[in-house]
């Protein structure tokens, strides 16, 4: 380092298990990003608008029923954000300990993650798969219903 360059800020070690479980539980809101990179992480803040829009779609569907077209668009956005969070949880959980420690936990180069990270990967896979399949099914159903609405009734 040259004298004009500041020293890199020392960050506290970040647990791979904690990051994976945060992604499982609150990943659609970006909690895992804030845990790993702090409150100034722009990608963490980018999780909030689509997740909140999807929640608005869920509330609209509960209040106005399944015929609300705006809810048709917003509900799958929530499903996609949850699916992205589950993929992130799986990636965090399955990152080799040496790589994780080098990136996020330099103070403890020999720290092992244990079964907590494995269980987070399993839960992330189950929840992510179910949510993604549900999102695809919902979107497909609403798309075909929309296609049928615009057709004139068939005459016998």
pLDDT of 85-142, one tens digit each?
999 999 999 999 889 988 887 777 666 778 999 999 999 999 999 999 999 999 999 9
Q: Is residue 156 part of a domain?
A: no
> How far, in Å, CA of 56 to CA of 72, rounded?
11
Sign of CA dihedral 126, 16, 42, 40: positive
Q: Is residue 4 part of a domain?
A: no
Q: Is residue 10 part of a domain?
A: no
Range of the domain at 130: 16-106+115-147
> How far, in Å, CA of 117 to CA of 36, rounded?
15
Q: Is residue 58 part of a domain?
A: yes
Residues 6+ apart with CB under 8 A from 2: none
Q: Is residue 3 part of a domain?
A: no
- Name the token pair of 101: 């420690």
What residue ranges in the chain does DSSP mark as E strands?
none
Q: Is residue 154 part of a domain?
A: no
Question: For residues 33 and 39, is the Cβ–Cβ distance under 8 A?
Answer: no
Give the global pTM.
0.83
Q: Is residue 94 part of a domain?
A: yes
Read off the pLDDT of residues 60-87 as tens digits, 9 standing for 90 and up.
Answer: 999 998 888 899 999 999 999 999 999 9
Tally of domains within the chain: 1
């Amino acid at each position: 380092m040259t004298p004009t360059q500041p020293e890199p800020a020392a960050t506290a070690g970040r647990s791979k298990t904690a990051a994976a479980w945060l992604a499982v539980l609150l990943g659609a809101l970006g909690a895992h990003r804030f845990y790993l990179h702090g409150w100034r992480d722009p990608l963490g803040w980018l999780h909030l608008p689509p997740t909140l829009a999807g929640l608005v779609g869920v509330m609209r569907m509960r209040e106005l029923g399944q015929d609300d077209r705006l809810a048709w668009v917003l509900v799958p956005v929530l499903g996609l954000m949850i699916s992205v969070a589950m993929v992130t949880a799986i990636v965090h959980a399955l990152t080799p300990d040496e790589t994780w420690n080098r990136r996020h936990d330099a103070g403890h180069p020999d720290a092992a993650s244990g079964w907590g990270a494995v269980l987070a990967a399993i839960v992330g896979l189950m929840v992510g798969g179910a949510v993604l399949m549900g999102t695809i099914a919902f979107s497909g159903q609403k798309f075909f219903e929309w296609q049928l609405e615009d057709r004139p009734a068939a005459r016998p």
